[in-house]
Amino acid sequence: MLFDVDGTLLLTHDEVYVEASRLALEGVFGIDAEGSDRPGDTATAHIRRALLSVDFPEAEIEAGLPRWCETFSAHYVRLLAVADTSHWLLGPHAAEAAGAVEHRALLTGNPAAVAHARVERLGLVALFPRGQGAFGCERENRIELFDLARGRAGNWPAESTVAVGDTPLDVSSAHAAGCHCIGVTTGRYRREQLEGADAVIADLGELAGALGALGQT
């Protein structure tokens, strides 16, 4: 079972992420560019799109993205260490739902250090150990994260892999990778916008039932 982070486990807009990204963009590329938002996309895909929107040279983007990932991750961990996140909201029943799944990992557009720092703040660190899952600075195309995550799980079969996420891109990328996807409406998208998923649930409290209906218990 592969869990998304934003809108699935973490339901609060993260200003630390925004500030760390801005600092990394300025430090690596000498520019602050926002670009268009595409929920569910990887961090590297978002930054490439933002830089292209201001006509930044593609060769310089390609050369700088690995350093942006390192710089962004370092800024994020540093800023989060002193940030007040008492207002952060954990998805309803997230801890219980994840804990009830025997084989679980993160699959997120966040860089690994960012994702692990977030789940630690959310009290989920014991459920998602390092060395499993797949992250946005490892592959730019979200579809490619699925093979990476399955490989780390001992080449877990695609047909037995279920992702849970809150965006249409979560759904389409899972299906393109040959996996199942359960959509959850705790993010910005409504049930009808996630209708391409194998099942759609209101929150993670319904996850066990959806997995059972898919024959994936």
Burial 72-99 (b: 16+ CB within 10 A, else e): bbebbbebbeeeeeeeeebbbebbebbe
Tell me what pLDDT residue 33 has.
81
How far from 75 is each of 51, 72, 167, 201, CA to CA, in Å?
Answer: 19, 5, 27, 35
Tell me the per-residue pLDDT of 4-42, one tens digit each, with 9 for 90 and over. Answer: 999 999 999 999 999 999 999 999 999 988 766 788 899
Tell me the per-residue pLDDT of 186-197, one tens digit each, with 9 for 90 and over. Answer: 999 999 999 999
Q: Which residues share a beta bridge with 164?
A: 3, 182
- CB-based contact 42:109 (threshold 8 Å): yes
Phi-psi sector, 65: left (phi>0), alpha (psi -120 to 50), beta: alpha
Tell me what pLDDT residue 215 has.
83
In this prediction, residues 180-186 reach a mean pLDDT of 98
Element (H, E) at 65: helix 58-81
Cβ-proximal residues to 149 (8 Å cutoff; 6+ apart), any chain = 2, 105, 107, 132, 133, 134, 156, 161
Tell me the per-residue pLDDT of 90-110, one tens digit each, with 9 for 90 and over. Answer: 999 999 999 999 999 999 999
Tell whether the model's pLDDT for residue 114 goes beyond 70.
Answer: yes
CA distance 194 to 103: 24
Local structure of 106: helix, strand or coil: strand
Tell me what pLDDT residue 38 has.
83
Using 50, 70 and 90 to split pLDDT, how confident is the model at 216? confident
DSSP tag of 91? P
In this prediction, residues 35-55 reach a mean pLDDT of 89
Taking every pair of Cα atoms in the chain, the longest distance, rounded to a whole number of angstroms, is: 50
Tell me the per-residue pLDDT of 121-162, one tens digit each, with 9 for 90 and over. Answer: 999 999 998 999 999 999 999 999 999 999 999 999 999 999
